[in-house]
Structure 1
Amino acid sequence: MSYADFLGMTVREATPGRTVVTLTVTPRGLNVHGTAHGGLLFSLADEAFAVISNLEAQAVAAETHLSFFRPARAGDELVAVATPERVGRTLATYRVEVRRGEQGEVLALFLGTVARREAPPPLG
């Protein structure tokens, strides 16, 4: 079982132009304030980032940044939508918006850069 599976994430869409990963916040994912733990939002955004960045080449994270705007609560469906900002031969940068629901407000914004290898990722 992967970390994403353990947290209950689902990949809804995975294309080089747009990747969507979802997660429903459970009581186990809350912090001391009763809102979703920041690490949960980061993990969701990072999973969408990992999926999109590895679709066409092997990629490893070189730098990431996450800004929190609004809290999420138990029962919220979080939707991470990843899109490319710039994809080069050796480096690529992606933007991931974490939303409450598919069309909901943006709760957090993740930017990440990967180092790319020319070989496609291994299957399986």
Structure 2
Amino acid sequence: MSYPHHLGMTVLEAGPERTRVSLTVTPSGLNMHGSAHGGLIFSLADEAFALISNATAQAVAVETHLSFFRAARDGDQLVAVATPERVGRTLATYRVEVRRGAGGEVIALFLGTVSRREKPA
């Protein structure tokens, strides 16, 4: 079983201009304070980042940053929406907003840069 599948992630949309991945927070994803574990939120954002950055190239992360704005709770559906900020020949940077629900408030903001090269034939 893959890591995203183990966490209950679902790919809603995957393309080079926008990628959306969702999951529902469950009790196994909570931290000691009863809110969604930061690692769970990071994993959701990172999966959207991986999918979008590899849509048209072979890419590996070189830097990421995640800011937390609000807590997520048991039962919350989280949706990570990834969009490109700048895509160059060898480097690309993507923005991933983790939202509560499809159009809800932003609970975390992820920025990531990848090193990219052409996909092997």
TM-score bucket of the superposed structures, by smaller chain: over 0.9
Percent identity reads 79
Q: 1:23 maps to what in 2? A: 23
**Residues 68-122 of structure 1, C-alpha deviations (whole Å, 9 max, x = no match):** 00000000000000000000000000000000001100000000000001125x8
Q: Which amino acid aligns with 1:46?
A: D
Give every structure 1 segment of 4 or more consecutive aligned residues whose post-TM-superposition deviation is greater than 6 Å: none
Q: 1:57 maps to what in 2? A: 57
Q: Which amino acid aligns with 2:67?
A: S
Q: Distance in 1 between matches of 2:119 and 2:61?
A: 16
Does residue 114 (structure 1) correspond to residue 103 (structure 2)? The answer is: no
Residue-pair matches, total: 121
**Conserved 8 A contact 1:86-1:93:** yes
Q: 1:91 maps to what in 2? A: 91
**Conserved 8 A contact 1:10-1:23:** yes
Q: 1:36 maps to what in 2? A: 36
Instruction: Name the TM-score, length of structure 2 as normaliser.
Output: 0.98
Q: 2:7 maps to what in 1? A: 7
Q: Distance in 1 between matches of 2:34 and 2:8?
A: 19
**Conserved 8 A contact 1:64-1:112:** yes
Task: Please provide the CA RMSD for this pair.
Answer: 0.9
**Conserved 8 A contact 1:89-1:118:** no
Q: Distance in 2 between matches of 1:22 and 1:68?
A: 17
Q: Which amino acid aligns with 1:9?
A: M
Structure 1: which 5+ runs fail to align?
A: none
